[in-house]
A and B are shown apart, each in its own frame.
Chain A
């Protein structure tokens, strides 16, 4: 199956700093990528839908100025958590949709810890 990578896999930062997470589709072109957030022992909550070359569509309650999403190419989307606070600590997972397979492939996730 298709492979999606995320970098970094784990990041610890101080409160007030910004953190960038990269999501790459390694062997297919993804016109659409998705960003999810998962709290401990809970389900994945969709944060935003990222389309290549256009602005991301954010879900209700997700602050677009805090969670900046850029989808600059067909294989790369980035999520930047700006001015991170401890409550932003979570597991962030991206997925990329392979239109040929009609299926989303998930990255391994990024564990963000804000001190």
Chain B
């Protein structure tokens, strides 16, 4: 079975500060890795994903995450956050085979203040 651990339930930061949201996973088989963002009372939006290839993946709004197989981690980073980045962030994995569901971490609330 797979599991995802997001070590920080809440991360408060000031605007323009860097941030890292941590994600570790456990799986006996190879997985795909994802980060989703959820704004209040909305569904999930894919932020970025790792399927294969380069271990560093980037989103269009400045976030990036690096797949580290030896540490089974997929931490999310942004060098300078904005107020609008305030949201819930979920790390998720899925087994590399067709039709499998996502397993989510418990989420990290990122709160950006001025």
Q: What range describes how many residues of B lie at the interface?
A: 20 to 34
Q: Tell yes or no: A16 within 8 A of B by CB.
A: no
From A42, A43, A51, A111, contact of B99 by CB (8 A): A51
Task: In the A-B complex, list the 8 residue pairs whose CB atoms are closest, starting with the nearest.
Answer: A108-B43, A106-B44, A32-B99, A43-B106, A109-B43, A106-B43, A43-B104, A44-B104
Within 8 A of A (CB), among B10-35: 32
From B32, B90, B102, B107, contact of A95 by CB (8 A): B102
- The reply to whether A103 and B99 form a contact with Cβ atoms under 8 Å apart is no
- The reply to whether B32 and A97 form a contact with Cβ atoms under 8 Å apart is no
Q: In the docked arrangement, what's the CA distance between A34 and B43, Å?
A: 14
Q: Which residue of B lies closest to A111 (CB)?
A: B41
* Apart from A1-B46, A106-B36: 19 A-B pairs, beta carbons within 8 A: A34-B102, A41-B107, A42-B107, A43-B90, A43-B104, A44-B90, A44-B102, A46-B102, A49-B101, A51-B99, A97-B99, A102-B32, A103-B49, A104-B102, A105-B46, A106-B43, A106-B44, A109-B41, A109-B43
Minimum CB–CB distance from B88 to chain A (whole Å) comes to 8
Q: Tell yes or no: A31 within 8 A of B by CB.
A: yes
Minimum CB–CB distance from A35 to chain B (whole Å) comes to 10
Q: In the docked arrangement, what's the CA distance between A1 and B101, Å?
A: 19
